[in-house]
Structure 1
């Protein structure tokens, strides 16, 4: 149980770091349109880049203690930090409905956390590697195809769905690839123990950076963060869960898992509904 709690605690810290990074990314584009100095923009962009990549370093010890889904299932907690950043620094109005959506998300996260503690965590070194890699790279290519197909679309919701899904899927593969590289003949290690482990471990940073650049591109295309980020978060949380169900023997969905996932979907639905209301009013 101690290992699972450590992995989830690191997941909360990582979630706060990456959500603050996304808030800073949006802040950079707002300040750029206001004509602020390049020094300020460079400083803020650098901090956001550090925060975004620090997220990966929280993953490394977390996957030693438990499968990646234990880390990623805590991701919704960071939305609370993003909400405070948006309200106090970006001067965005936060409604009671949005607060309700975040609270539902956090409730779902807590339920998944309880489920993680109650279940016996299977060791990630049992992963069926070939099937996992085919699913991971196949899913990446499929979502990239839909991003390219919809990038010129005038339907904001469709565009935000695929942009957020692609960035979230890439982010979800980040801890999975790190954990895959950490597999050794003796189980899970803090760092890879052989050449191919280092190669796979290294590719995880490309997935994390790709996710960062995709969200940045979304903001450049003026897709509202309130639409992209909830979809991103959903795919980040569900990607490790779904791939582990298929390719990690002994990992399964329980009743609590379904309840937690249901709350997260419900919370994201509330936030997306509110974002659509804001768009109509403006």
Structure 2
């Protein structure tokens, strides 16, 4: 049984969780069991638990301590045997310091914590998620859209403040709006304008036809942009530096990946992903 605590008004949440008796409030024409009674012998998932009011927190704490509920407007104690799984995107410890969440309830719930890092902290998952969402939205929309070269780097570099849901929406938008069967870097940049947040590396557009290209000074003379820099662009240059750094550290530690990952400040899984990405044996 699941319930989104943020989607239900505070005045109704209590009766949804614990149930109510006939006549408990205006409109309560019949008695109804709550979610805890419905989940008896099973599991209840409380999503967005950080949104519940202090009054409901007190009653929830009582359910956890006594393993029983009292319906709103009732006096009968109803025993329940329920496993509780709770989720939130808020910092409950900070809410405790601000007296917005009960400390005793927090410790009653925080038995086996599972912390899911933001997407920007596990960028090696982005290619897998992209493949999954591309396959799904291609199937849903009857298309065969693929990513052009360089697009993966753009998407990996983005900060994804909205995490997986933002990535999912981005892929759906790209598939639906793609004019051809290949998503280009320009398509991604256009979609990213809907999310006016900076990425780790500012990506630049290719100069339009007739626009003077930047020049560099070499050997005391001014030359046009070097072909290698023009071909790779900023992202390519950064990728090249990253590959050189990884290869250097791997050689230094005799290709022991755990030690190399520790020296690079990444997890072994992240190191393996980058080795595959850059074709490092």
Q: What TM-score comes out, normalization by structure 1 length? A: 0.23
Higher relative contact order (CA 8 A, sep 6+): 1
Higher Cα Rg: structure 1 or 2?
A: 2
Q: What TM-score comes out, normalization by structure 2 length? A: 0.23
Which structure has greater helix proportion?
Answer: 1
